[in-house]
């Protein structure tokens, strides 16, 4: 065990790297790689991904994926803005807005007669948040472009997933998702102010 005098001689950078090495384990590296792989599958092959995850996915797996994507996207935001406060703000904003979006989508689809449970709606919303990895890149004017592009693609992913899940008329799904998109933008704006 290292002596206290040896620890005191280490620079701040060396002590920080010791802490990073405790977190940087093969298990954590594997988890991050798996989350990035799933995000890639969601964004590049959504028509193959959503039928499988809607049928066989579990809310627990979706929560794991969501948490990983939110942490990675929040870190990207903090790094690209060189501000730790941005990381914490976006972590909070993404987490709260995703759960509220899942709740509102479930409630609205219930009003239109869909009997699907909250958990299935949450799965679609959680996996559609893969776009946060793109939204996390916020470099000057590029930040506005990535935010708008990721929001639009996120709505598209939700449209695909909700069509598979609810099997309602396309007009109904578009109406609900338009309401949800407005709610998401308002939530992200309001939550980032505070």
Sorted by where each begins, the domain ranges of the chain are 36-193
Q: Rounded to an integer, what distance in angstroms lies between the CA atom of residue 74 and that of residue 155?
A: 20
Q: What is the pTM of this model?
A: 0.81
Q: Rounded to an integer, what distance in angstroms lies between the CA atom of residue 1 and that of residue 8?
A: 14
pLDDT, residue 23, reads 64
Residue found by looking up tokens 């929001």 in the block: 151
Q: Rounded to an integer, what distance in angstroms lies between the CA atom of residue 36 and that of residue 41?
A: 9
Q: What is the pLDDT of residues 13-60, one digit of tens each?
A: 676 666 666 666 777 778 888 888 999 999 999 999 999 999 998 999
Task: Enumerate residues 6+ apart whose C-beta is below 8 A from 192.
Answer: 89, 90, 93
Take residue 79 and report the two structure tokens written for it.
């790094």
Q: Rounded to an integer, what distance in angstroms lies between the CA atom of residue 141 and that of residue 34?
A: 31
Q: In terms of C-beta density within 10 A (0-12 exposed, 13-18 middle, 19 or more buried), how is residue 181 classed?
A: middle
């Amino acid at each position: 065990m290292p002596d206290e005098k040896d620890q005191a001689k280490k620079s701040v950078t060396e002590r920080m790297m010791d802490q990073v090495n405790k977190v940087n384990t093969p298990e954590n590296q594997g988890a991050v790689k798996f989350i990035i792989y799933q995000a890639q599958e969601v964004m590049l092959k959504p028509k193959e991904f959503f039928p499988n995850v809607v049928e066989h996915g579990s809310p627990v797996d979706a929560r794991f994926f969501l948490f990983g994507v939110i942490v990675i996207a929040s870190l990207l935001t903090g790094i690209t803005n060189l501000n730790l406060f941005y990381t914490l703000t976006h972590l909070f904003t993404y987490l709260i807005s995703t759960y509220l979006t899942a709740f509102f989508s479930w409630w609205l689809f219930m009003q239109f007669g869909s009997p699907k449970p909250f958990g299935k709606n949450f799965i679609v919303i959680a996996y559609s948040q893969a776009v946060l990895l793109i939204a996390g890149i916020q470099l000057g004017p590029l930040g506005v472009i990535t935010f708008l592009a990721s929001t639009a693609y996120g709505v598209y992913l939700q449209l695909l997933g909700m069509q598979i899940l609810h099997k309602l008329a396309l007009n109904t799904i578009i109406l609900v998702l338009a309401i949800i998109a407005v709610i998401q933008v308002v939530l992200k704006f309001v939550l980032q102010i505070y």
